Every structure is written in structure tokens, then in C-alpha cells.
Structure 1
């Protein structure tokens, strides 16, 4: 099975690297700068689960891409999706399966429109990973998982084949019969965390320690859960219990990557993660005042950032 990983950043580099380490046929679609880095130093992963340096990983650049791949693993940010689609489109053939690991749901519409829904699986990952100043992939916590599946819930031959291949990477890969529901649950968690920590410019622990902070976070979770329920994907009780505990843990340093992006002055996925959920809630007549405030806050940040960049 030939796998094309779009990019060799934190997420794509980690999962692609673990599969490459296990002997899988993996190629990274990268820009010239990243190709030069990988040729010089290899793909370096620093992890509590084991470090590895993979010398001379196979890479290809967009203008060189002509072969078809069995699987395309896509882990870009939502604001880079259009460019990513253009870059890997030549690799998608009639039998190719695309596994997007983006948050939310809007990306599925764009991928369906370009390649047809029959080629697009559902997917999500759970991992804390980043690139350090020397462009090494740093795995911050032992947590790691990658879940994928047919969006209609069926167990297909291609999903079983992908599961067999990804299982060699030993990163908690799982084929799911409820991938869309699981994507919704992750979206509920991520949106609750991102909206709260971005609005308050603080970690979960600092918010919870402030007057009204615990009620605020739980209220945000209630709004996000209500939108998911209106869309036919009510979060399960075990999920809500676990997530409520994480979002109200005293002393927790947890923040959303979106909050860290704001602190760094970087682009954010305001429309894809918070804006789309807000719009769906309002369309379903679900009250989402906290989400709406968070979205307005993020759009104001984007405008301020754009002015500074000019």
C-alpha cells in the first residue's frame, strides 16, 4: 500500500514517520525548504514513546507529482486546505482513499466537491505534537491515536487494508464504524476548549480558578453539545463526563492550539472550528451566545493581525 502524507510537519511527520519506521511505503509531499531539511538531517521524532531519526525519507514536490497513491493522509490547517488540494490532486486516482485529519466538518464539502465523496473517508487524530526550533517533531505527551472510517459506517475492504497497514505504526490507529459521530464529539471538545481559552486568554486551570470560570466553560460545552445534538450527533454520556472533567480540572495547564496560535500572532481556524459551529447552531435555532462572542473575538483578532501584517 502506497501512502502519500501531505506535508511533513508535526502531525503528518509524526504519523507518517512512525509508519515509515515500521517499513511502510510512505512518501511525504513537501515544499522545497522542507525537502532540503529532510535530505540534510532526516525526519527526526522526539517522543516519550521512543526517539527516531529516519534518514532520507522519500519526498516529492507538487510540480513533480504524477503517480497515483492508495492513501492520501491530509493534516493541514483549514486555511491551507485549498492550496493543499491543488498540491496533491494529481496523486488521487479512482481507487485512492483520502483521510483528512482536519477539525470540524466543512473540509468534507470541499474535498467531496473536488474528488467525489466516494474517495473521502472520515478521520481524526488525538496527539500533542509540535515542531521545535530545529524542525524536529516533538511529541509532548504519550497520548496518540488516529481514527478513520467509511462515512456511512460500513467496514469496507479498503478500510480493513488501511487498518492493517497503519497498525504497523503502533500509534493507536483504529478503524471506526461511527467516524462521523466521533468527529462531532472531537469538534465539541475542541470548540469548547478553543472558545474558552481564546476568549479568556488563559489556561483551563486559570479559568476554573476565577469567579464564574467553571460555569463559563461548562456553559460553552453545553452550547457546543446542543449544536451537535441538533445535527443528529448528540455526544454520549461517557464522553461528556470525561470531557467535563478535563475542562474543569483544577490547575490544568491545558489550552487550545488556537490560543497558542493567537499568542504567536499566527493564523487561526476561526471560521472552520468556531464560526461553522456557531452558524449551524443559529440555523437550528439553538442559543449560542458564548460561541457567537468567541467567534466575534476571533474575527476581530484576524482583522487586527491583517492590519499589522500590511
Structure 2
């Protein structure tokens, strides 16, 4: 938990939630804390660290680890945590992009969730869009900008091919970090400049006005989980602030959509999971715009999360609860399903 991405604080909450809710009759867990500088820290055998662990305690341990803890700078491992399986509670770059999964695969260490290939595909929004299209999964029209287009020419290209408003995205940003909804030429040029500072490519897509939804897939179940409708109260979309600041979003599970739309969201969520070569669990975000077409014609896949937020109050655990699976049982299901891969 933790990690090098801007989602470090969210990961601490997810990791502590996971550690504190493992079934004690089946599992004995311990934290592997990863600093923003990619230093790994974990308790030595016999160290006095037992769940539950709170996020502020995890932060304190990262800042001042006990003397008897292991401390290793990634990736020069002179030691490595010993576990039957690693439950990955990381989000964003360094955890969700396949790099950690690749190392664990090389070391033949079991871990939860998707492998390195699927994780890399899902993290890259451009690869995801391409695979959506190849597998006939509806998604909003898009264009890609190369680094030499991060200026007036790129902004003009976007406006010509997509029109305004549109959405500009860093292709590997998570939790809606690196996303800008732009409605005029000046905002578009600014977004291209700012988001292009550290991006190998930029993705721009048509802004589809509609109702946002998200749907989890949990392998081993007959069908995907009940979708959630997301209603941001202050934001133009489900932004980072809307995700994690209390009171900025209303989350309704199950979503109050027509039955045929619910069924199509679930079908496309599973199809996205499979198209991106994901394993065990994922969550795909959608926008439904009835004005685009009748029935399910206005449904578009936005992106798929291979490591969605995993606090007890996160969306995927909420959906599992509606399906009759409590948080602790959900963790057990993910561990057991991951051990099959």
C-alpha cells in the first residue's frame, strides 16, 4: 500500500481497509508500506504489528519506521517480503500499470488481481480505447496527440476533429487525475500545454453529456455486480475531488436505469474485462446519454479500472454488498480466485 503515484493517500486507505478486514480464521496479514520515493518497508518476523491498521498509523510508520523493520529501495531487493499471496492495494503508476505485477510474476510470487499484461493495457487509456473498438465496445470518438502536437496545432486538430466541449486526458492518469473537460479554445490550449508536460501522448475524446455509471466484474459469479449510478453534485464529471471528498457525489447502487440499460452495462463490463485481458476483478466506467439514441444506443465505455478503490466504502465493495457479499467475504473471494491463476 502507498506507492509512488499521486494516489498514494487513497492507497493507504485501501490497504488499511483490506488488512483490517481479512478473515482472521483464514489469513494472517501484515503491511508492506511503499513510500512516495519507492522505498519498501515491512515488519520483520515477530514484529509487534497487528491489524487493524489505520491510514494515519500507516503514514506515521512510513515517516518513522521501527528499527526492526525491513527497508529496501525498489527495485534493488536484497530481501523480499515472504507471503503466500500479496494483496495489491496500490493505485496508479507503479501499482496499477503492470510494473509491480511483472516483478511478482518474475519472482513467482502469487498476487491478487490481473497480471502484468492486462494491468498495462487497462492503465493505458489509449490502448483501452483501441481494444474497446476492436471488440465492438462503444466508446466516444477520440484522437491522439503526439508530443510534437502539444501546442496550437494539437489544439486545432482536436477542435476540428471532435469539436467542443471535449475531454483531454493523460493516458495513464488514475482516479481522474490528469483529466480536463474543456469548453472553449483557450481552455483547450491550456489543457494540452499542462497535461502534455509529462505525457508521452495525449488522448482527447468527445464530451458526452449524460448519466455516469460504473460496474464491477468479479470472476466466479454468474453475472457482473449491480451497476452504480454516479451523480457528481459540484463537478462536471467524476473527478478526483468528487471521488474522495465527502458530500461531492451521490452514489446509487443499484443504478436507477431501465432494465435493458442495466443489462447492457453488465454485458459490456464483462466484455471490457475480457478484452483487456483482466483477471479476478475490475470495474468499468460508463456514460449513458439517452439523447444520443434510444434504449442502449447512448451507452459508452469510458475506462476500465483493474485496481479500483478498495476501502470498505468504495464502489466495488458497495456493489458486492448489494449482491450479498460482505467486505470480508469479498476479500476472501478475491484471494481464492487469484490463487487459481
Give the alignment's TM-score, normalised by structure 2: 0.28
Higher RCO structure, 1 or 2 (CA under 8 Å, sep 6+):
2
Richer in helix (by share) = 1
